[in-house]
A and B are shown apart, each in its own frame.
Chain A
Amino acid sequence: MKRLLAAIFLFASLAAAPAAETSSELKPFVRGSWQEMLRSHKGRPTLVHFWGVTCGPCKIELPLLGQFMKDHSELDVVMISADLVPNLPGAARAMLEKAGLGTAENWLFSDGFVERLRFEIDPAWQGEIPRTLLIAGDGTVTTIEGSAEIPDLEKWLVQQKVAAR
């Protein structure tokens, strides 16, 4: 319990930190966070990626996504740590920074009732990661199960630019 309270306190203090220090901020992903995230990106093409520190394929994919984000500063990138095991803030932050994703919008599953969190996102999703949702400006969602191919992401982004003209 003490450890958990400490973790909650940590999240709280991170959230309150000034913007300049939030390069690797991990927002606690709780009930309602999904809608909050969607609202804040409404109308803009957004890449949402679910990953976890214990997920083998994620270790390979994360640096590629880091590079993709660097190459496309116009795209909103949202990373959500959604491990099926207790999500570890320290390990998650280290992995994000190593992959060049420390400055992405980073969230960490922070509710023990993961079924409810997942249901809010997609009732058909049982928690497999990696998983990428490409959300178009008009709200259309393309789901990629497993590792995403960067050329597919490039193609999708080009389509978004065409649609926006």
Chain B
Amino acid sequence: MLRMSLLATLAFSLCQTTAQAQMSHHQHASEAACEEVELRCASKVTPAFASDGTLWLAWMAGGRISVASSKDLGRSVSTPVQVTQEKLNLDWGPDARPQIVVEKTGGIALAFSIFRDKAFNGQVLATRSIDGGQSFAELQPITANNESLRFAALGLDADGSVFAAWIDKRNRVPAKQEGKKYEGAGVFFASSKDGGASYAEARLASDNTCECCRLGLAFAGPGRPVVVFRNIFEGGVRDHAVMTFTDPATPGEVRRVSNDDWQISACPHHGPSLSISPAGTYHVAWYTSGKARKGLFYARSDDEGRTFSDPLPLGRSDRNPTRPYVLTGPHGTTMVWKEFDGEKTAVNAMISHDEGRSWSKPVTIASTTDTSDHPLLVSDGQATYLSWMTKADGYRLLPIGDGS
């Protein structure tokens, strides 16, 4: 851990000088460093490793989604390919980001959301590349219904099919017609058997969930997707729930992750993270500001979400811990989140080697002095990496831990 943290610091200090010199003279309201389509201008970057160890990145910059790959863990990146020629009104919500899945065959499935009108109603668009990311098919709505969709999550199932889940407000239409109140949005899902070129008819997993938070998606085994989402429980309580699908077409029951008792008629824009270990342990990290607890928390489940461990608080409460992410890799489970000390945003990490029962002491592995994307984790099957886009210091891929 220490060695890696030193590495991370070194990488940052090397890059900071030039980046900061460029940035210092124009402090403005943008969350991106520049307005062009290059990676350095991105506000959101999503990573995925191919089975051959190639790192693929999909990012939002200059109103476009771009894709590029790296054979050397992000040190150099291939010429980016823009998914569309025209500029899009991309969903800029804090939890919105392009989704990328790389199949074993090399196919690439993408999905992302745009705002389709001035009322911020969203649409999820999907596309696919079959030529190693050199070109992408014409964008297709992920579902025919166009009411308002956001926050798609993509996952690659063991049989090579792509599972998609998203937040969908279609059910507010019949509710309105009947004069009924409709709260939140539904979690909808669909599968693609052709690598993300087309998706089966969308179906409802759970209605009246929180409409503004990212979903956590993982697999409990082949054909068994699991989704974690901020639900709206009775009384407008926006606590987290987990659902294990019986198969990719059959939703399971809604199980509560934690009783935080956060009753709020507002959008937290702060969704959960989920990872499932080969042993079947569910790892969930989330944010709440409930009556029972406030801050970032982690819990684990050994019985497919029927019961969870007591929530473990993450980070220093006086440093505004945010954006937790958890991932089970080849050498244990890693968790990262952001903290802010009034000047710098730091990414802190900790590792568990016993399925989340105990954790190492948190260590700061990276920091930045301007705005930044959520910290993400990604694994190439050998190591776990922090993937982090920052306005001042650009994109970073940093190895975490050494498996010891």
Contact = CB atoms under 8 A, between A and B. Distances in A.
B294 A124 contact: yes
Nearest to B263: A146
A33 B320 CA distance: 20
Interface string A104-136: 000001111111101110011111111100000
Interface in B277-292: 287, 289
A111 B28 CA distance: 6
A115 B266 CA distance: 19
Nearest to A8: B28
Mostly, the B contact residues are loop
Mostly, the A contact residues are loop
A111 B27 contact: yes
Given A1-B35, A4-B28, A116-B342, A123 B268 contact: no
A115 B35 CA distance: 21
A141 interface: no
Given A7-B29, A84-B94, A126 B268 contact: yes
A112 B370 contact: yes
A160 interface: no
A56 interface: yes
A19 to B, nearest CB: 25
Interface residues of B, number: 37
B223 interface: no
Given A113-B370, A115-B320, A4 B270 contact: no
Contact of A84 (B34, B265, B269): B269
B267 A55 contact: yes
B28 A128 contact: no
Given A111-B29, A112-B30, A146-B266, A123 B319 contact: yes
A115 B269 contact: no
Contact of A54 (B31, B120, B391): B120
Contacts of B338: 115
A112 B371 contact: yes
A123 B267 contact: no
B123 to A, nearest CB: 16
Contact of A110 (B29, B120, B267): B29
B266 A130 contact: yes
Contacts of B266: 55, 57, 128-131, 145-147
Interface residues on A, range: 35 or more
A163 interface: no
Interface string A28-62: 00000000000000000000000000111100000
B320 A119 contact: yes
B41 to A, nearest CB: 10
A108 B263 CA distance: 27
Contacts of B340: 115-116, 119, 123
Nearest to B392: A113
A1 B36 CA distance: 9
Contacts of B245: none
Contacts of B264: 128, 145-146
A115 B287 CA distance: 16
B342 A114 contact: no
B209 interface: no
A126 B322 contact: yes
A163 B29 CA distance: 40
Contacts of B311: none
Interface in B253-308: 263-270, 287, 289, 294
A15 B110 CA distance: 44
The interface centre, meaning the residue of B26, B31, B32, B320 with most chain A CB atoms within 10 A of its CB, is: B320
B317 interface: yes
A147 B265 contact: yes
The interface centre, meaning the residue of A8, A112, A116, A125 with most chain B CB atoms within 10 A of its CB, is: A112
Contacts of A110: 29
Contact of A56 (B267, B269, B317, B343): B267
A123 B289 contact: no
28 contacts: A1-B26, A4-B29, A56-B267, A85-B93, A86-B29, A110-B29, A111-B27, A112-B28, A112-B30, A112-B31, A112-B370, A112-B371, A112-B391, A113-B391, A115-B322, A116-B343, A118-B320, A123-B318, A123-B319, A125-B320, A126-B268, A127-B270, A128-B268, A130-B266, A131-B266, A145-B266, A145-B289, A146-B265
Given A57-B265, A123-B320, A127-B269, 9 more contacts: A8-B29, A84-B93, A112-B27, A116-B342, A116-B343, A119-B320, A126-B270, A128-B266, A146-B263
